[in-house]
């Protein structure tokens, strides 16, 4: 097989792997979007807590001022206690869902996908760094170091192909 044919095949594989990396990055972006949405819901719920405490305080003050009695005070406190407990339970549930989403995104299978995609193509390291940099800036440095390492391996493989064609 000629060098040009091998090089053409390598670039075709690079295109395929870049597509796989783009899909992977898209999946990561979806995970991050889901986590962000859940965290926003959680913050909204946390914002309700001070308002509920304020309302409770106002209700207690009014009940005391109007001398509405022990039963009204107890019912008011019980009502707001339940509301606060419900909000806190929702916050805990959102914490669990955020953790589940995070665990799903950090699976070994996902890591293997990116390594396999980068290993097979000389163009994939550049594509991987570009896509991931746009989607997940926090992971860029880690991925870049992996990309550089894989790029060196790929460059070595290309050099071997060239040398074998020369012989």
For the stretch 69-109, pLDDT in tens is 889 999 999 999 999 999 999 999 999 998 888 887 655 44
Would you say residue 167 lies in a domain?
A: no
Lowest-pLDDT range of 38-52, 74-88, 125-139, 143-157: 125-139
Which residue bears the tokens 């869902």?
97
Would you say residue 143 lies in a domain?
A: yes
Name which residue leads in pLDDT, 24 or 101: 101
Domain span holding position 79: 3-157
Q: In the chain, what percentage of residues exceed pLDDT 70?
A: 49
Would you say residue 86 lies in a domain?
A: yes
Q: Model-level pTM?
A: 0.50
Would you say residue 165 lies in a domain?
A: no
Per-residue HEC secondary structure of 49-91 comes to HHHHHHHHHHHHHHHHHCCCCHHHHHHHHHHHHHHHHHHHHHH
Query: What's the total number of domains in the chain?
Result: 1
**Stretch 54-70: mean pLDDT, rounded?**
91
> Residue 107 — left, alpha, or beta (φ > 0 → left; ψ -120 to 50 → alpha)?
beta
Terminal CA-to-CA distance of the chain, rounded, Å?
12
Would you say residue 163 lies in a domain?
A: no
pLDDT given for residue 108 in this prediction: 43
- Six-digit token string for 162: 């060239």
Contacts of 94 (CB under 8 A, 6+ apart): 38, 39, 41, 42, 45
**Stretch 112-129: mean pLDDT, rounded?**
51
């Amino acid at each position: 097989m000629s060098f040009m044919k091998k090089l053409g095949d390598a670039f075709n594989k690079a295109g395929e792997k870049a597509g796989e990396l783009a899909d992977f990055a898209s999946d990561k972006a979806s995970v991050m979007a889901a986590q962000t949405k859940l965290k926003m819901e959680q913050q909204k719920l946390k914002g309700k807590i001070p308002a509920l405490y304020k309302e409770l305080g106002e209700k207690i003050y009014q009940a005391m001022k109007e001398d509405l009695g022990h039963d009204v005070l107890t019912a008011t406190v019980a009502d707001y206690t339940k509301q606060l407990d419900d909000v806190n339970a929702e916050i805990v549930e959102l914490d669990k869902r955020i953790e589940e989403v995070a665990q799903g995104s950090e699976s070994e299978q996902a890591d293997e996908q990116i390594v396999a995609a980068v290993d097979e193509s000389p163009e994939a390291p550049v594509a991987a760094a570009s896509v991931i940099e746009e989607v997940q800036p926090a992971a860029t440095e880690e991925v870049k170091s992996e990309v550089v390492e894989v790029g060196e391996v790929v460059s070595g493989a290309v050099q071997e192909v060239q040398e074998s064609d020369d012989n």
